[in-house]
Structure formats: C-alpha cells, structure tokens
C-alpha cells in the first residue's frame, strides 16, 4: 500500500461532500446542523494536504489527514475523525508494507480511540453504532478468507444495518443527549457520515482491486 | 429573514473580529504568532503563575476572548461561529500561557470543545505542561441533577473565570486554582429563555428560530432544546419560572449569600434585564438569600439572539467572596476608561 | 411584528428599570426622595464640586442613567421611552447634586429636552443655583455644518461625560467644567446606521422601521431621518461611508490624535462592532490620524434596534487627553468586578 | 371668571383626546409620533389636578394645569403648553376678576412665552403659526366691540387658516427641521393640536355664554 490511503480519501471527498446536505439536515434535527459544513470543510482540508503526503507512510497519511480535517473543521465529528486516524495510523507506525491484513487492526484501534475520546458506549446513538459492526464484519470476513472486496461489502452491509438501527435509539451523549426522548426517530448524523464514508471506500475498492 | 448584520465576507467574520479586538486594545492583548484565532494577555506567560485557557465557538462575545485579562483568563481561542476551536489552537494557547506552573482549562461542556480540549491536554502533557480541566455545566434545564456532568455550560462560567482568575493572580498553585474553579462552577446554576433565534453568518440562514409571540424556556445558547415553549410571558413570570428551577437545584437556602448575573443573549436591552432583576431580587429576598454582588449586562451572547439568562453563584465561604471581589480587568468587559 | 420584550406592564417599563438599577447597585447610586425617574451618585452632593446633570428619554441604556458615577455625571433623570424628562424632575436632580459650586447640564440636543432643561435652569436660578448648559450635537448628518447648533446629539456625548466629569472630579469651577465640556462636544463628530427599527413598549407597535435587506445611513436613535436608504452594505463600506462624512466635517487631519467610539444601537453584536472598527482603524491610520483610545460596545442604544455608530473625538490638547484618561466608574458601564 | 378655566380644560379633554390618533399620525409623519400620547396623558393629568384647583384664582389654575401636563407628558409640546399657561396666567396674577377683556393679553403673553422658550419664529412651521393669528383675530374682534362668541369664532377661523398654511411650510426647527424639504406637505402636528384645543374652547363658549 503506497498511496491507497490518499486514494480512499479522494473517493470520500468526491462521494460524501455532495451528500453534505443530507448530513446537515439530520444534524439540524437532533444536533446543531453543522455536520454538512464540517464534512465539506474538513475534506477540503484533507484534499489540500494530500499532495504533500504522497509517498509518505500510510500511518503518516492517516494521522496528518485526520489532523488537517479537525484543524479546518473542529467539532465533535472533526476531533473524532482525527482521533480515529491518529490511533488507527499508530498501529502501522512508519511501516511501508501496510496491506489488507492490517485493516481490521487499524479499525479496532481507531474504534478504541473513539471510545477513549468520546467516552460513549455502543448503543448511545453515535457513530460508534455504525463503525463497530462494520469493523467486526470486516474482520470476520477477512479472517474467514474472504477477499478484500467481499470483506468490504460485508462491512458496508453491517454499517448500513448499524446506522439504520440508530433511528430507534435514544441518544445518551453530547448534544443530541439533551433532547432525551425527542432524539428517537432520527438516524444519527455521525453514523450516517461514517456510512457514507465506508460506501465511498467501497467504491474505491471496487474500482481499484 | 434576511441577515441584518454588519459584516464583510461571512467566512471572515471570526478573523476580522479578532483583528478588530487586537487593534482596539493593543496594550492589553496580543496574538500568538501564526494563530488567527487565539488571544493572550499582553504580559503572558506570567512566570510562576498558573495560566487559565478558555475557548469555544465564536459568536458569544464577550465570551470567550473578552475574559482574557488581569485577574481572569490568560488566553483564549475560538472556532467558527458556534463551533469548537481546534486542538491545535488550544495547544498553541497552552504553550503560550504556561508560566511553568501549569494550565487550567476552563470552558463550557459541549462535546466538540471537550474532545478538542482533551486532545490538546494530551499533547500539552507530551510537551511537559500539566493541565487540569474544569467544565462550565451550569444550565439546570439541560439534564437532571443526577446527570449533572452532562449539563451544558452557559453564562455561569463567568463566576468561574472571576474566581479562578483571582486565585491564579494571587499565585496559588494549579491544584488550588482548579479546586476553586470547581467550587465556583459547582455552586453556580443558570437558566435562560430565548425570544428569537439567530443567523449563523456562514450559513446565511437562521441557525434556529423561535416563533413570533412565543418564547422557549431553557433553550441553550446555540438553540439547544429547552424545557417548554410558551407564549411570551411577563418579566415577573419569567423571573419566577427561572428561579423556581434554579433555587431548588443546588439548593439555595435561606441564609445563603450569592452573586447574581442577569445576562442578555444579545438583542435583549439592558432595560429588560433590570426589569427581570427587579423581580429576581424580590424573590431572593423573600427566600432569605442575600445578594452580595450583582452583574447585569451582556456576558455571554449568541450574536443577535433575543433572550436572557439568570445565573446564581452561591458563595459558600469567605475565600470565594474574597476571590469574587478581587480586582480584575479585561478591555472587553471594562474597556471604558483609563486606569 | 409582535413585541419581543421581557417586560411587565408597558406603562411600568421606566419605573421598573430604575428600581432594578437601584437594587443592583445600592453602593453607588441612590434615589432622590419622591422621584421615581431620577438617580444620583450615592455620595452626592459633593461639597464644593460642580455637579453634572444629564437626562433624556428612557430606552437608551446605558444612556443616561448609566453615566452617573465617579468621574462622570452626578445625577440623571429620564422620561418615558424616547421622551423628555420633565423640568420638575430636572430641578429635583439639580437641587440634589448641587454642592454649592453650580451645576452643568449636559444632554442631547432634542427640543423636548432643551426646553425642559431650560425651564429647569430658570427655576434653579430662582433657587440660587447657577446652571450652565452644554448640548450634545455630534450627529453630522442631522444638519449642515453652518447650522451645527441644530444638530442632534447621539453617542458622542460619552466623551463629554468623561471629560467634563473628570474636570468636575478634579474640583475645577463651573466655568472651567463648562468650557471643557464644550471643547469635548465641539471636537466630537458621529454618524450612525440603522438596520432595523424598534418598538416603543407603551405603543406596542414599531416606532419606526427599516425595510428588510435595507439600511438607513444617518438615521437618528429615535428613527430620525437619515441621509440615504441603501441596500445592506458591507462593514467596510459602512465604515468608509461614515468616515467620509465624519472626517471632513471638523475636519480631522493628518497628525491629529483622536479617541474612537464604536457603538451598538442594541441588537448589533460586539463581533460586528469589531469588524467595523477593524476597517475604521485602517482608514484612520491611512489618513495619519492617531488613535489614543478606543471604546467598543453599547454606549447609547435604542432598545433592540440593530445598527451602529462611530464617534470620533479630536484630542486637541494635553488637558483633554489627561481628562479622558482619568479614572471613572459607573456600575452600568463597568459594574463587572470589585474595586 | 371663577372656574371657567377649568371648564375649558374639561372641554379640551373631552374633545381633543378622542382626536389623539390624528395628532399621532401627523407627528409620526414629520416627528416622532408621540403627540397623541402626549395629549392623552397630559390632559389626563390636567383633569386629575382640576378638583384641587377649584375656586383658586385663574392664574393659579392656568399655571398648575400647565405644570401638571408637562410633568405627566414632558415633551416639546408639553413644556410649551406649560410655559404658555404659566406666562399667560402671570398676566392676571392672583386676580379674582378675570374676564373676556383679559383674554387677548393672556394670549399675547403666552405667545411671547412660547417664543422665548422655543426660540422659533412665525413661519417656522410650528404651533406659533396657529396660535399667533388666532390671538390677533380675537383681539381685533374684541376691541372692535364684538361679543365673546364672535371674537372666539374669528379666532378659530384664523387659527384654522394658520394651521392649514403650515402644510406648505418647510420646518426650520426641532425634530421636523431635520427633515428639511421633506417636511413640506404635512400639516404641523403642534399647530393642529392648538387648533383642536381652540375648537374645544369654542364649543365651551357656545355652550356657556
Ligand atoms: N461522545 C461521542 N462519542 C462518539 N460519537 C459521538 C459522541 N458525541 C457525538 N458523537 C457523534 O458526533 C455526531 C455529531 O457531530 P458534530 O455535528 O460534529 O457534533 P457537534 O456539532 O455537536 O460538535 C453525532 O451524530 C454522533 O454520531
Ligand atoms: N421651537 C419650537 N417652538 C414652538 N413650537 C415648536 C418648536 N419645536 C416644535 N414645536 C411644536 O411642537 C410640535 C411637536 O411636539 P412634540 O411631539 O411634543 O415634539 P417632540 O416629540 O419632538 O418632543 C411641533 O409640531 C411644533 O408645532
Ligand atoms: Mg453538529
Ligand atoms: Mg457543532
Ligand atoms: Mg417626542
Ligand atoms: Mg413628537
């Protein structure tokens, strides 16, 4: 893996930014409505550091891109994105030979980072509820010998299910938590953003493997 | 509703605000090299004294930048309107104000802010700077008392700045400054009402709104949901509703001494604040609560939002009284005349 | 548009505002027996010192009551919202603040006020109190320079309070205090813009309004006509238009030293004022005018009106600088913390 | 004349207050729109001191009523009303035998008081333009032997003409003065208030003589 990480970020920028309005609307319902602009400004920043990161180790590409995102669009989502990228990247620190076999470990470290940072639990109606099942599904598929493409498809399916499941959940943390029961009935915006990002990664896998 | 704001490019609101502040008060405030979103006291770092860093979204002046001053915070950074500053800016402020005695982070309990400040504090520890944190969490309507740590911070943080700032100015150590900050925050309770929404410049559309002739009791300063939507009440009724929730929460009891802050969210005029206070004072007097000091004005706003909040801080010991009464100066709070 | 105000009975707005102010700051301000519309310094009358009385309509806080304080005015009375106080109240204030050295009347040039103050001064003379008068008349858009004495007074009167107040505090005699007041007013020029109107509580309907998306350049603080209605301009354009009229009027020239006041009419947020100042400072710097001191905030408002004004005071000699820089304190301007 | 002054004030209160809206609208056009409320509150105050003034000299009734008006509704109109009453009253100070023969002198003193207080000239588009011709007409009619009723009618006619003439005038003083040319075309609100007051006095004369 040399610049695959940057390729995936490019795919996310291309596919998720056009869906920013959907994220804005969900966040306006149970948050403060800034998630659309956060994704737009954050990915713009990721794209603009991308060229300088070419040829550097994947760990560096992940960490620097995450930091660029949060610097441009600091927010709950921004700092969580940065944390995930830094903690995920640390798993493969300075290694040149990062490949599909590392993805589950990177994902789990990222997830742990998110939980450390956000102190939320699975079921609290956050992006954890989208990401956690995706990582598990990927890991299971991959360890049982499935291809990268198949494992990615499994991850996206699980992510979709996890995201949908947030609709019925009551938020217990952060901004949506202040809504109490009124948070039930709306799909979590952060989970939705994670789903869109994984779908973009899936497109990249389909196009490049 | 079109935007009724005196601005240039909506994307430049934050940077041009800070540029204006720095030009207005060059004797008191300075920039950190390379950061357009941070301000520190002109004399920072003060060797041997605890630094106090704060920050949060833009759009709340005098919060946060206005609380940088002698006897108050040492530095602050802001994000975009109603958005967190980044951990990088916070780290820059932390390094710039550390006088070797460590840094207290004192800011409002919003997840974007807490996560970014936490990240900054981890980076600061790597740089060898000890950081402790106190979160403003005074809004009684945002969570039940059993979940007090989920509550959001609103104008009551002013008492935190004042009391912790005086302790730092006195030369107390980080643990001591942190402990009075916690004491001030813990003993402060607030509630607000909103009579209108506000428009985020970069979005150009109302960030949230309150229907004509209605008011939202307990709405947060970024439009976070309140406890009740009602037709516009009278000032006396509003004061009553606020104190009915604030007083039992701590609780405040007969014989207590307190400081009171009546805060405008922006468009609400001083006249209205004094009318509100006129009733609040009566209620407190009836309950046997002694008012030691009163603050009335714009202390934490949401741009042109109409609404007000009342914050009450119980002064539980002589030290708190002394720290509250100590001199303090920020050019955004008291820039008026020479000193 | 319905009223978005936190009040009780619209007829009680003025009295309850004053009651709230007195309860908030009992150490600094007191009532005159029998008058619900007047406030004087707690230590008034100060024997041997010139008293300064001001007044005007309610609805402009911190004008007028907020300028009663040490180093500022000695007493003030207000009328109904946007209406003159009566000559009786003015006479009461005059008698209450006279320390034997006479009284300066310092207020804005509106006919209701001037005629009532003139009548009060005639009655005061009968009581053996010498009175002199200085009228705030700083609004450059209200009449051509040839008819400067017809101009109305807006926020620029703040420099009059500060400079005359310091002179009175120093113990100068009535002629001397009057003469520095005249000097301050004569050397001050202001211009405002309005982005919205305001609603007089007792009327319940907008006293005046500005169409959505429009602004009125030069509109007065009670909705007096301006010089031009235009679509909403940028902050930089507004600063440019204001200084284009203000600077040639006195004129202010390269090498001059000045104090600058950027004032919100109420709903306009501090952020916007700093953005406006950011440009004004640039223009003044380009013209070679040195800024000695900057004030930014709410100094003279029209309840919840959106808009701002810039006032510039030329500091023509060292005495003016000294008087401007002298300490001053009013709990409505700087009530923040202990001193 | 014993309580005639109070009777006339009563007539003014009864007839002019219901026309407050007209005054409000005129003042909103070239002033600040408060003249309606000024008249209402001012006359209310005059009525409420009226009982205490019964049986006192006309000079006292005039002065005290004027002061009560301005205390309750201080304003340009208020202080001018008070000044006119005080200065007019001073002409017949403490006299018990005030009658129709004194009216012109009282009026002239009041007018002089208004000019001293307001420093305006005839033709500046103020209430002077309504009052001054009325006093002259009354005086002329009275000196040429006309009855009180005839002289009053002459005064009201002249007042009406003077008031109408203000429409074409450009204001040179006070609030309307800031409008410059834009003040032309609107009948002066203060002049109109004076006209309404004289019309009320005329009704009283018709009913009581
Ligand atoms: N403590 C938390 N842990 C993990 N994810 C969280 C947490 N709090 C919020 N989130 C996620 O962040 C999303 C909101 O992000 P964002 O709009 O940036 O928040 P804010 O505007 O409040 O800073 C939520 O939809 C949720 O998925
Ligand atoms: N200098 C003056 N002398 C005489 N009459 C005046 C003068 N200025 C104004 N007026 C009269 O007063 C009327 C307005 O009264 P009022 O509404 O009380 O004024 P304001 O609201 O500006 O205090 C005007 O229509 C005019 O007739
Ligand atoms: Mg959000
Ligand atoms: Mg946000
Ligand atoms: Mg008026
Ligand atoms: Mg008027």
Does the annotation count C336 as an active-site position? no
Print the domain residue range for B106: 14-186
Name the residue ranges covered by the structural domains of chain D: 4-208
Which of D34, D174, D177 is facing C83, going by the closest CB pair?
D34
User: Which pLDDT belongs to residue B194?
Assistant: 96
Residue B150 has a CB neighbour count (10 Å cut-off) of 16
pLDDT tens digits for range D4-49: 999 999 999 999 999 999 999 999 999 988 999 999 999 999 999 9
Kindly give the distance from the C-alpha atom of residue C84 to the centroid of ligand 5, in angstroms, as a whole number: 7
Q: Is residue B38 part of a domain?
A: yes
Residue B3: its pLDDT value, please? 74
Contact D178 C87 (CB under 8 A): no
Across the interface, whether the CB atoms of D74 and C116 are under 8 A apart is answered yes
Cis status of the peptide bond prior to C78, with omega within 30 of 0:
no
Q: Are residues C112 and C23 in the same domain?
A: yes
Confidence of residue B1 (pLDDT cuts 50, 70, 90): very low
User: Residue A117 has what pLDDT?
Assistant: 97
Please report residues of D whose CB lies closer than 8 A to that of C119.
79, 82-83, 117
- Of B186, B206, B222, which marks where a domain is finished? B186
d(CA C44, CA C24) in angstroms, rounded, equals 18
Judgement on whether residues C20 and C32 belong to the same structural domain of the protein: yes
Residues 77-106 of C with CB under 8 A from D: 79-80, 82-89
On the CB side of B62, CA atoms within 13 Å amount to 26
Class of domain D4-208: mainly alpha
| CATH number of the domain where residue C48 is located | 3.40.50.10440
Q: Are residues C18 and C63 in the same domain?
A: yes
Residue B335 scores a pLDDT above 60? no
Task: Report how far apart the first and last C-alpha atoms of chain C are (Å, whole number).
Answer: 43
∠ CA C193-C198-C204, nearest 5°, is 165
Any idea what the Cα angle at residue D70 is, between residues D64 and D72, rounded to 5°?
Answer: 100
What is the whole-number distance in angstroms between the Cα of residue A208 and the centre of ligand 4? Answer: 35
Which pLDDT score is estimated for B212? 87
Does residue B324 lie within any of the structural domains? no
Residue-wise pLDDT tens digits, C41-98 = 999 999 999 999 999 999 999 999 999 999 999 999 999 999 999 999 999 999 999 9
Q: In the prediction, which pLDDT does B200 show? A: 84
Using pLDDT thresholds of 50, 70 and 90, give the confidence band for residue D2: low
- B57-90: per-residue pLDDT in tens? 999 999 999 999 999 999 999 999 999 999 999 9
Q: Within this chain, do residues C205 and C255 fall inside the same structural domain, yes or no?
A: yes
State the pLDDT at residue C225. Answer: 83
Atom of ligand 1 nearest to the CA of A78: 18
List chain C residues with CB under 8 Å of B238: 6
pLDDT at A1: 52
Residue A130 alpha carbon, nearest atom of ligand 1: 27
Determine the pLDDT at residue C334.
58
Mean of all residue pLDDT scores within chain C? 94
Residue C276 has pLDDT above 50, yes or no: yes
The helix/strand/coil state of D142 is: helix
CA of D28 to the centre of ligand 2 (A): 12
Residue with tokens 């001397």: C176
In this structure, the answer to whether residues B192 and B108 fall within a common structural domain is no
As for how many domains chain B has, the answer is 2
Whole-number pLDDT of residue B197: 87
Mean pLDDT of B144-155: 96
| pTM, to two decimals | 0.95
Ligand nearest to the CA of B200: 4
**Ligand 2 atom showing the smallest separation from residue D175 Cα:** 22
Q: What is the mean pLDDT of residues D189-207?
A: 98
Pair (B193, B182) in one structural domain: no
Kindly state whether residues C268 and C160 are assigned to the same domain.
Answer: no
Q: Which residues of B touch C325 (CB under 8 A)?
A: 337-338
pLDDT at A2: 64
The residue among B339 and C328 whose pLDDT is bigger is C328
Instruction: Report which DSSP code applies to C40.
Output: E
Contact between A67 and B224 using a beta-carbon 8 Å cutoff: no
pLDDT confidence tier of residue B189, bands split at 50, 70 and 90? very high
User: What's the CATH number where C207 sits?
Assistant: 3.30.1180.20
B177 and B195 share a domain? no
Residue C311 or residue C205, greater confidence = C311
Nearest by Cα to B261 from B302, B309, B321? B309
Q: Does B182 share its domain with B196? A: no
Average pLDDT over residues C216-242: 93
Statement to judge: residues C166 and C243 lie in one domain: no
At residue B233, the 3 state secondary structure works out as coil
Contact criterion met (CB < 8 Å) for D79 and C223: no
Is the residue at B261 inside a domain? Answer: yes
Claim to verify: residue B87 and residue B118 sit in the same structural domain: yes
Average pLDDT over residues D191-196: 98
- Residues B170 and B233 both lie in one domain: no
* Total number of residues shown for chain A: 209
Is residue A56 scored above 70 in pLDDT? yes
Tokens of B53: 């860093």
């Amino acid at each position: 893996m040399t610049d695959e990480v940057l390729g995936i970020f490019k795919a996310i920028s291309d596919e998720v930014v056009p869906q920013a309005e959907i994220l804005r609307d969900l966040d306006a319902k149970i948050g403060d409505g800034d998630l659309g602009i956060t994704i737009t400004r954050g990915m713009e920043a990721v794209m603009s550091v991308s060229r300088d990161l070419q040829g550097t180790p994947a760990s560096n590409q992940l960490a620097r891109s995450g930091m660029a995102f949060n610097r441009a669009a600091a927010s709950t989502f921004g700092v969580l994105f940065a944390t995930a990228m830094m903690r995920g990247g640390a798993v493969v620190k300075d290694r040149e030979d990062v490949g599909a076999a590392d993805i589950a470990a990177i994902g789990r470290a990222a997830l742990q980072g998110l939980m450390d940072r956000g102190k939320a639990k699975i079921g609290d109606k956050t992006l954890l509820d989208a990401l956690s099942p995706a990582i598990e599904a990927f890991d299971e598929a991959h360890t049982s010998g499935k291809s990268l493409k198949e494992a990615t498809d499994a991850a996206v399916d699980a992510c979709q299910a996890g995201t949908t499941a947030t609709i019925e959940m009551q938020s217990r943390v952060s901004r949506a938590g202040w809504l109490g029961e009124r948070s039930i009935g709306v799909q979590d915006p952060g989970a939705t953003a994670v789903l869109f990002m994984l779908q973009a990664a899936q497109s990249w896998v389909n196009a490049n493997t | 509703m079109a935007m009724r704001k005196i601005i240039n490019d909506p994307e430049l609101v934050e940077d041009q605000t800070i540029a204006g502040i720095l030009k207005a008060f060059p004797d008191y405030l300075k920039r950190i090299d390379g950061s357009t979103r941070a301000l520190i006291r002109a004399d920072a770092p003060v060797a041997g004294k605890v630094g106090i860093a704060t920050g949060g979204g833009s759009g709340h002046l005098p919060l946060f930048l206005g609380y940088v001053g002698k006897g108050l915070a040492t530095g602050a950074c802001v994000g975009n309107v109603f958005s967190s500053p980044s951990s990088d800016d916070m780290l820059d402020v932390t390094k710039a104000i550390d006088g070797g005695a460590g840094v207290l982070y004192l800011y409002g309990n919003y997840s974007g802010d807490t996560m970014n400040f936490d990240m900054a504090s981890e980076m600061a520890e790597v740089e060898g700077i000890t950081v402790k944190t106190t979160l403003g969490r005074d809004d009684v309507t945002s969570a039940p008392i059993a979940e007090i740590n989920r509550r959001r911070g609103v104008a009551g943080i002013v008492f935190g700045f004042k009391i912790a700032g005086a302790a730092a100015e006195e030369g107390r150590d980080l643990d001591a400054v942190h402990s009075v900050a916690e004491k001030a925050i813990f003993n402060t309770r607030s509630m607000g009402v909103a009579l209108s929404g506000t428009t985020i410049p970069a979005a150009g559309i109302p960030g949230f709104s309150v229907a004509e002739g209605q008011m939202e009791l307990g709405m947060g300063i970024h439009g976070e949901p309140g406890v009740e939507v009602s037709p516009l009440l009278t000032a006396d009724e509003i004061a009553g509703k606020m104190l009915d929730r604030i007083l039992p929460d701590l609780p405040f009891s007969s014989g207590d001494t307190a400081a009171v802050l009546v805060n405008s969210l922006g468009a609400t005029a001083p006249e209205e604040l004094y009318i509100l206070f006129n009733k609040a004072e009566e209620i407190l007097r009836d309950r046997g609560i002694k008012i030691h000091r009163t603050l009335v004005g714009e202390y934490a706003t949401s741009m042109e939002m109409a609404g007000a909040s009342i914050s009450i801080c119980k002064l539980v010991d002589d030290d708190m009284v002394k720290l509250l009464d100590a001199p303090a100066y920020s050019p955004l709070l008291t820039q008026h005349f020479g000193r």
